[in-house]
Amino acid sequence: MNEIGIQQLNLKDVPHITSHVKYFDGEIGFADDISTVVTLVKAFKVNFVAMIFCTSGSLSMKVNSVQYHIQANDGMLIDMQSVVSDISYNSEMRCKVICLSLEGGITFMTKSTLEAFMHVKQNPVVHFSHDEMELMSKYYELALFKMEHPELGKKGKETMHTILRAYVLDVIANLTSHYNEDHEEAMMRQGDKIFHKFVFMLVNSNGVQRSVKEYADELCVSPKYLTSICRKHDGKTASELIALNTIGHIKQLLLYSTLSIKEIALQLGFENLSFFGKYVKKHLGQSPNNYRKLNGYGQ
DSSP letter at 129? Answer: P
User: Do 194 and 174 belong together in one domain?
Assistant: no
User: Do 24 and 50 belong together in one domain?
Assistant: yes
Q: CA 87, CA 89: separation in Å to the nearest integer? A: 7
Nearest C-alpha neighbor of 240 from the set 294, 288, 283: 283
CB 113 within 8 A of CB 165: no
User: Do 60 and 193 belong together in one domain?
Assistant: no
Q: CA 151, CA 99: separation in Å to the nearest integer? A: 25
Q: CA 131, CA 96: separation in Å to the nearest integer? A: 16
Neighbours of 14 (CB within 10 A): 21
Indicate the burial class of 277 (C-beta count within 10 angstroms; 0-12, 13-18, 19 or more).
Answer: middle
Position 273 in a domain: yes
pLDDT block averages, 10 residues each, the chain of length 299: 61 77 80 72 79 90 86 86 84 87 62 58 77 82 76 65 72 63 49 81 83 92 91 84 87 82 93 92 92 69
Nearest C-alpha neighbor of 206 from the set 107, 275, 116: 107
User: Do 226 and 275 belong together in one domain?
Assistant: yes
Position 145 in a domain: yes
In the β-sheet with 7-9, what is the strand arrangement from edge to edge?
A: 7-9, 43-46, 83-89, 58-63, 66-71
Residue 267: which CATH number? 1.10.10.60
- 108-133 as b/e: b if 16+ CB within 10 A: bbeeebbbbbbbbbeebbbebeeebb
Neighbours of 263 (CB within 10 A): 12
Q: CA 147, CA 82: separation in Å to the nearest integer? A: 30
List the domain range (segments joined by +) for residue 290.
Answer: 189-294
pLDDT at 184: 43
Position 105 in a domain: yes
pLDDT at 181: 45
User: Do 145 and 93 belong together in one domain?
Assistant: yes
Domain boundary among 167, 182, 197: 182
> Domains in the chain: how many in total?
2
pLDDT at 102: 67
Which SS3 state, helix, strand or coil, does residue 68 take?
Answer: strand
Nearest C-alpha neighbor of 84 from the set 175, 24, 184, 14: 14
pLDDT at 113: 58
Range 246-252, long-range pairs (CB < 8 A, 24+ positions): 246/207, 246/208, 246/209, 246/279, 247/103, 247/280, 247/283, 247/284, 248/103, 248/104, 248/106, 248/107, 248/207, 249/107, 249/206, 249/207, 250/207, 250/280, 250/284, 250/288, 251/284, 251/291, 252/107
Q: CA 15, CA 3: separation in Å to the nearest integer? A: 23
User: Do 261 and 284 belong together in one domain?
Assistant: yes
pLDDT at 204: 77
Position 2 in a domain: no
Dihedral angle, C-alpha 276, 278, 284, 287, nearest 10 °? 80
Q: Which residues contact 139 (CB under 8 A, 6 or more apart)?
A: 163, 166, 167, 170
User: Do 25 and 149 belong together in one domain?
Assistant: yes
User: Do 177 and 31 belong together in one domain?
Assistant: yes
Q: CA 270, CA 283: separation in Å to the nearest integer? A: 15
Position 1 in a domain: no
User: Do 21 and 96 belong together in one domain?
Assistant: yes
User: Do 37 and 146 belong together in one domain?
Assistant: yes
pLDDT at 189: 67
